[in-house]
């Protein structure tokens, strides 16, 4: 029953994220992997950084190597929880600000050093940590 409800939410309440994730899967030719602890589908081979779109989490394995794998995984699972709560508003309230903030921090090294230290203090990233039970 739980899996059915997750499936139902994925293709109704979280439909914009699901469609966008499916486009990314085709574009990046990703292969699904099962998450060991939760019913999530995790995909790899993305050329961007790590990000979540509803039930789908994309990991750039080269990028994750520089970070703590467990904390990154939990943080992205926290974004999946945000997606479930916000539904179609997730893309506007979480994904877009996160992408912009991440891009800004990578564009300028000097600014990036300052921004990266405060990256997880933004409301959308902090709440992902809270939902994912990440301790920083």
Q: Specify whether the CB–CB gap between 92 and 20 falls below 8 A.
A: no
Res 24: pLDDT: 82
Res 35: pLDDT: 47
Res 56: pLDDT: 84
Q: Any residues with CB less than 8 A from the CB of 67 and at least 6 apart, and which?
A: none
Q: Helix 96-107 and helix 109-118: axis angle, to 10°?
A: 140
- Identify any residues that bridge with 52 across adjacent strands, giving them in sequence order: 57
Q: Phi, psi at residue 32, to the nearest 5°?
A: -70, 150
Res 37: pLDDT: 44
Note down pLDDT in tens along the chain; length 136 residues.
888 888 888 889 999 999 998 888 787 766 555 444 444 445 455 445 678 888 888 776 555 555 567 788 888 899 999 999 999 999 999 999 998 887 777 675 555 454 555 778 889 999 999 999 998 7
Distance CA 33, CA 21 (A): 15
Res 111: pLDDT: 52
Q: How many Cβ atoms are within 10 Å of 133's Cβ, its own excluded?
A: 11
Question: pLDDT for 77-97, tens place per residue?
Answer: 999 999 999 999 999 999 999
Res 99: pLDDT: 87
DSSP, res 89: G
């Amino acid at each position: 029953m739980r899996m059915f409800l997750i499936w139902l939410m994925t293709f109704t309440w979280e439909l914009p994220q699901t469609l966008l994730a499916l486009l990314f899967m085709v574009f990046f030719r990703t292969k699904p992997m099962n998450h060991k602890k939760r019913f999530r589908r995790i995909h790899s081979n993305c050329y961007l950084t790590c990000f979540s779109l509803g039930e789908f989490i994309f990991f750039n394995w080269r990028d994750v190597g520089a970070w703590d794998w467990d904390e990154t995984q939990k943080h992205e699972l926290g974004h999946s929880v945000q997606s479930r709560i916000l539904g179609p508003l997730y893309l506007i309230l979480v994904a877009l600000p996160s992408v912009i903030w991440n891009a800004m921090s990578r564009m300028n090294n000097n600014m990036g050093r300052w921004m990266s230290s405060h990256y997880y203090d933004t409301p959308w990233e902090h709440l992902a940590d809270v939902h994912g039970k990440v301790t920083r």
